């Protein structure tokens, strides 16, 4: 596929192969973007911003609705692209496509709700004759940088609200999964989005990231990815607004009054969805000692039933990890934990990019598998004697995206809601729950700001005050 820069689809001699992570077979190529492409993309975006800020809101709405319709008619094609370039099974990929349709549709709906309010200027003595209001205007050019694990919907979460709010976008998708993003770009152009509003530059973050980030033309950087790249981007960005959607090692608490069947079933799904390469994936489960054994049995039995394999087979429950390098990293972390005394209950083995769903108990608190984000199919079970202990351990890490509690007690639920240091608490659900209109984001090292269309739109627009001195 080609990059989208200005009013054309651009090819280059130097290409990047996009491979299926299952067998490393190439499925397509994209151009390897460079400094000249970045310059062209920003020049186009400057023009694109002039176009979109003047585009009547009803036209932006129509374009976004049409885009959602186009994706709807090609759902299976989008799903196959997601599952071929990435880790998701075809069934998981279909869910992502339907979420993306939601995201674009909600962007159309929210475009008509970018509103302001009147200001009571006469609330200050001496301002009796003043009347006025504020309204929200677009922030300008937004640099969007996206990760591999939801290659379509996380792109939609940036492009949808950016367009709805009247901005222009330069997007850099993850190098291993650029095809879904380019397909979304095609759908937008086909739906009538004027050229130059959206520009998609493919290329390695390590090669073009700095030039993209340091450029003074974007007014905002909207980044989703890991903390390492996030730190580098923050240190290079200069005077820009920054939105950061980062990782976590999400905790789930299972109390002695929980429905253990429900807790086990939802936690297994939350732990191994997308091979655990999921920012709200379940990584640490704190179980009340009175139900520990029963929960462990149920959890491990369900985990053992998962079928690992080719992600495009309908019957596969868990596909390959995104690269062999990532699978090897997880293998190293597992080995380190074993050497440190952690007890393996099931899994732990790797074959190429395929990693068995892995469950530990007695994980030492200093182990990477406890304190860092594993971003792979490994989960640890911990025995706790009280809710206080569970919350204190859940909060003992530097991340805080989602937390969850399974309980039938309102007191337990509200205590967890109050005391978990996270951006969202799920009650009787795993941490892996999200719909696209809710505010989404984390505290501590899990990020800055919130996405979820309405909330992204607030970040991507600014209030302008108007005051008449009568």
Residue ranges binding ligand NAP (CB under 6 A): 145-150, 154, 172, 174-175, 204-206, 209, 213, 224-226, 229, 232-233, 245-247, 279, 373, 375, 401, 447
Tell me, letter by letter, the H, E, C secondary structure of 258-272.
Answer: CCHHHHHHHHHHHHH
Which residue lies nearer to ligand NAP by CB, 224 or 407? Answer: 224
Residue 445: what are its φ and ψ, rounded to 5°?
Answer: -80, 5
* Cα(160)–Cα(152) distance, integer angstroms: 12
Is 467 a known active-site residue?
no
**CB of 195 or CB of 433, closer to ligand NAP:** 433
Give the residue with the Cβ less far from ligand NAP, 37 or 296. Answer: 37
d(CA 151, CA 153): 6
Active-site residue, 279 included:
yes
Q: Tell me the three state secondary structure of residue 166.
A: coil
- Residue 385 Cβ, how far from ligand NAP at the closest point, in Å? 31
What is d(CA 177, CA 163) in angstroms, rounded to the nearest whole number? Answer: 22
Residues in Cβ contact with 206 at an 8 Å cutoff, skipping those fewer than 6 apart: none
Tell me the closest approach of the beta carbon of residue 184 to ligand NAP, in angstroms: 15
Distance of CA 402 to the CA centre of its chain: 12
Radius of gyration of the chain from its Cα atoms, rounded to whole angstroms: 23
Residue among 92, 96, 100, 279 flagged as catalytic = 279
Query: Strand pairing partners for 198?
Result: 169
Report, in Å, the least distance between residue 28 CB and ligand NAP.
16
Measured from the CB of residue 283, what is the shortest distance to ligand NAP in angstroms? 11
Instruction: Determine contact, residues 377/355, Cβ cutoff 8 Å.
Output: yes
Q: Which of 188, 170, 157, 171 is nearest to 60 (CA)?
A: 188
CB nearer ligand NAP, residue 246 or residue 258: 246
- Which residue, among 195, 157, 155, 158, has the nearest Cα to 178 in the 3D structure? 155
In the complex with ligand NAP, the residue whose CB is nearer, 52 or 222, is 222
- As measured in angstroms, the least distance from the Cβ of 436 to ligand NAP is 11
| Residue 284 CA, distance from chain mean position | 20
Q: CB nearer to ligand NAP: give 58 or 207.
A: 207
Q: How far is the CB of 1 from ligand NAP (least distance, A)?
A: 16
Contact yes or no for 422/402 (Cβ under 8 A): yes
Tokens of 308: 């690992």
Using DSSP's 3-state secondary structure scheme, residue 274 falls into helix
Nearer to ligand NAP, 166 or 319 (CB): 319
Catalytic site residue from 92, 96, 110, 245: 245
CA atoms of 100 and 122, how far apart (whole Å): 45
User: Locate tokens 């090292």: which residue?
Assistant: 445
Least spacing, CB of residue 174 vs ligand NAP, in Å: 4
Report the alpha-carbon distance of residue 391 to residue 251 in Å, rounded: 9
Residue 447 — φ and ψ, nearest 5°?
A: 145, 180
The residues annotated as belonging to the active site are 245, 279
């Amino acid at each position: 596929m080609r990059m989208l820069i200005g009013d054309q689809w651009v090819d280059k001699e130097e290409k990047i192969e996009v491979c299926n992570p299952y067998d490393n077979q190439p499925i397509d190529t994209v151009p390897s973007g460079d400094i000249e492409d970045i310059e062209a993309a920003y020049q186009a975006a400057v023009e694109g911003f002039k176009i979109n800020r003047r585009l009547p809101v009803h036209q932006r709405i129509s374009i976004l609705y049409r885009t959602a319709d186009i994706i709807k008619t090609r759902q299976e094609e989008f799903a196959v692209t997601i599952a071929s370039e990435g880790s998701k099974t075809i069934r998981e990929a279909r869910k992502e496509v339907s979420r993306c349709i939601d995201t674009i549709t909600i962007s159309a709906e929210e475009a008509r709700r970018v509103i302001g309010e009147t200001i009571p200027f006469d609330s200050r003595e001496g301002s009796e004759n003043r009347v006025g209001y504020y309204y929200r205007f677009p922030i300008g050019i937004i640099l969007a940088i996206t990760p591999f694990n939801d290659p379509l919907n996380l792109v939609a979460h940036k492009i949808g609200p950016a367009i709805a709010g009247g901005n222009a976008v330069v997007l850099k998708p993850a190098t291993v999964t650029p095809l879904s993003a380019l397909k979304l770009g095609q759908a937008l152009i086909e739906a009538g989005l004027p050229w130059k509003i959206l520009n998609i530059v493919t290329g390695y973050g390590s090669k073009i990231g700095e030039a993209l980030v340091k450029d003074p033309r974007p007014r905002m950087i909207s980044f989703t990815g890991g903390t390492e790249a996030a730190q580098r981007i923050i240190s290079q960005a200069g005077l820009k607004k920054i939105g950061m959607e980062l990782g976590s090692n999400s905790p789930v608490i299972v109390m002695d009054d929980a429905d253990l069947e429900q807790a086990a079933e939802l936690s297994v799904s939350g732990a191994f969805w997308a091979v655990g390469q999921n920012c709200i994936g379940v990584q640490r489960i704190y179980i009340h000692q009175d139900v520990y054994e029963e929960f462990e049995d149920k959890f491990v039995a369900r985990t053992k039933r998962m079928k690992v394999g080719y992600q495009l087979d309908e019957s596969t429950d868990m596909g390959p990890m995104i690269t062999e390098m990532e699978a090897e990293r997880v293998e190293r972390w597992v080995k380190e934990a074993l050497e440190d005394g952690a007890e393996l209950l099931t899994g732990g083995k790797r074959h190429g990019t395929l990693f068995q769903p892995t469950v530990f108990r007695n994980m030492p608190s200093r182990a990477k598998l406890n304190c860092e984000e594993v971003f792979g199919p490994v989960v640890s079970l911990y025995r706790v004697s009280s809710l206080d202990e569970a919350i204190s351990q859940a909060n003992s890490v530097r991340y805080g995206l989602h937390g969850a509690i399974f309980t039938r007690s309102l007191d337990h639920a509200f205590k967890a809601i109050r005391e978990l240091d996270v951006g969202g608490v799920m009650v009787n659900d795993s941490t892996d729950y999200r719909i696209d209109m809710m505010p989404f984001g984390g505290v501590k090292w899990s990020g800055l700001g919130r996405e979820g269309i309405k909330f992204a739109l607030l970040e991507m627009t600014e209030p302008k005050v108007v005051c008449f001195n009568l």
